Amino acid sequence: ASALAAPVPRRLEAVVDGGPPIDLGTAGDFVILTKTGITTVPDSVIVGDIGASPITFESMTGFSMVADSSNTFSTSTQLTGKAYAADYVSPTPSKLTTAISDMATAYTDAASRATSNGATLNVLAGLIAGKTFTPGVYTWGTDVSFGSDIYLSGTAADRFVFQTSGNVGVGAGAKVLLIPDGSGG
């Protein structure tokens, strides 16, 4: 099962429909954090740090990584931040263990949130390319995918929770974009 919270600033605390915050803790330091692996394709660009734990550096494929001389992280031309893996030297394993634990706590909180209303249940059967979302909790019993941009209509203070029992697929070049209230997308 997967949950996606967006937008993803450096420290995310999500407030949904006036509810209590979803605190990502140190997981909020990563734009992608996984226990199972990260795969990318040429010409993709990821803005921010990524991490994989308890799995190794080899679980991040397609990046042409270059290890830093400290061996605590790697860099890639497809990544504006740093890549961290559990098999790098200290303090990286401890940092990732804490972040993965914080991610699990945030996931449990986000997954327990009730769908905002009937209109936020199984939106477009999970094929959400081009869709504009307003703040709230969205729930799917299917995979969720978008091959082109999706839009979050609101302000930087608004939060959106996407819950799915399936996978999340993002097509090459597709983005999640925050747009001002009412400007459409």
Quick one: pLDDT at residue 182? Answer: 55
Three-class secondary structure assignment of 95-154:
HHHHHHHHHHHHHHHHHHCCCCCHHHECHHHHECCCCEECCEEEEECCCEEECCCEEEEC
Would the pLDDT of 2 be above 50?
no
**pLDDT class for 26, splitting at 50, 70, 90?**
very high
Higher pLDDT, 111 or 69: 69
Quick one: pLDDT at residue 44? Answer: 81
pLDDT digit string (tens) for 109-151? 988 888 878 888 999 999 999 999 998 899 999 999 999 999 9
pTM of the model: 0.74
| Average pLDDT, rounded, for the chain | 85
